[in-house]
Structure 1
Amino acid sequence: MDLLLWRHAEAEDGDDDFARALTGRGEKQAKAVARWLRQHLPRHLRIVASPTVRTRQTAEALDLPFEIERRIGPGAQPADLLAAAGWPSARGAVLLVGHQPGLGQLASLLLAGQESEWTIKKGALWWLTRRIREGEPQTVLRTVVSPDFLAGSK
């Protein structure tokens, strides 16, 4: 199974956390990562986004259908994210569009075996793969895509 973790792009400040929209820079970040992702889309991709405006706008940059899942909203814990993704047994690939600190905590749990405060930059995508080697399950970091290194995201 492939699990893609995409943190929402840069968003406006505001009191209503669910209503904060992407900034102009955030829109460029989302479009740049979406452009890269469309060129590398895994087969049978299921896209799940947090219900916040900024995560929905980030997901919309892909121009593909996606689900809204409250469990992966702000404050989501790694267990919530894993349940929403169906990790590790879901077929195909799942893209979660969500928030810090949950996404970083999930990445650290899957890659290092314990929850730590890892930071995923705004707009960045981490692509993880679960595989079996010599009878043992492994989680492998396939790639990290940062909007800062893609053309058109500045």
Structure 2
Amino acid sequence: MRELILLRHAHAESAAPGQDDIDRPLSRQGQAEAEMAGQWLKKENLVPDLVLCSPARRTRETLEQVLQVVGYVDQRQEARIYEATPGTLVQVADEHRDIGRVLLVGHNPGLEQVAALMSSGQSGDFRGMPAGSIAVLRLPAEAALEPGIAQLAAFWWP
């Protein structure tokens, strides 16, 4: 078995006038949520082997808080995660199927749709990943990602 962990960025500040969405920072609440997410991952022994993170400031800041708790993990910024469709997220994750535990740090609605699609076979109007939440999907080791192939093994939110 292998695991795909989906982490939605924690609460972010609203965009300031003239500020691009990609540059929005975490709020004070979001910083605390991200730290709690790291604590949960560590407590559950779910430290990833590889992290793929959206280039958005709020996702990078979420990851920084998580890594302060769990320690150093191999990490890469992945531009395709920002504003990604479920299909793009699945493609990004599937490119790393040889790695035992991959963490994607990204955004809704893509992450919650991937969680639903991989675990139930349907993405529909699923709305179930609040800011800072984590979904852990368990998958067959060698299988390509496809609808309904995963088991939702754990779900956490701040």
> How does the TM-score come out when normalised to structure 2?
0.82
1:116 aligns with 2:131: no
1:25 aligns with 2:29: yes
1:68 aligns with 2:72: no
Give the C-alpha shift of residue 87 in structure 1. Answer: 6.4
Hey, what does 1:139 align to over in structure 2?
A: 150
1:50 aligns with 2:54: yes
Give the C-alpha shift of residue 50 in structure 1. Answer: 0.4
Change (3 A) 1:113 1:87: farther
Give the C-alpha shift of residue 139 in structure 1. Answer: 1.3
Checking the alignment, whether the CA contact within 8 Å between 2:51 and 2:103 is kept in structure 1 is yes
Checking the alignment, whether the CA contact within 8 Å between 2:50 and 2:99 is kept in structure 1 is no
5+ residue gaps in structure 1? 148-154
Q: How many residues are paired up?
A: 142
SS of aligned partner of 1:18? helix
Match of 1:82 among 74, 87, 90: 90
SS of aligned partner of 1:94? strand
Query: Partners in 2 of 1:145 and 1:43 — Cα distance?
Result: 14
SS of aligned partner of 2:24? coil
Post-superposition Cα deviations, 1:77-132, rounded to whole Å, max 9, x if no partner, equal 11211121126833301100000000011111111112222221000000010138
Post-superposition Cα deviations, 1:3-56, rounded to whole Å, max 9, x if no partner, equal 000000000001411000000000000000111112334476111110000000
5+ residue gaps in structure 2? 142-147
Hey, what does 2:39 align to over in structure 1?
A: 35
Hey, what does 2:144 align to over in structure 1?
A: none
Give the aligned CA root-mean-square deviation in angstroms. Answer: 2.0
Give the C-alpha shift of residue 67 in structure 1. Answer: 0.9
> How does the TM-score come out when normalised to structure 1?
0.84
Query: Partners in 2 of 1:103 and 1:109 — Cα distance?
Result: 10
Match of 1:92 among 75, 96, 100: 100
Query: Partners in 2 of 1:81 and 1:21 — Cα distance?
Result: 22
Change (3 A) 1:44 1:9: closer
Change (3 A) 1:43 1:117: same
Equivalent residue letter for 1:19:
D
Query: Partners in 2 of 1:21 and 1:45 — Cα distance?
Result: 26
Query: Partners in 2 of 1:88 and 1:139 — Cα distance?
Result: 16
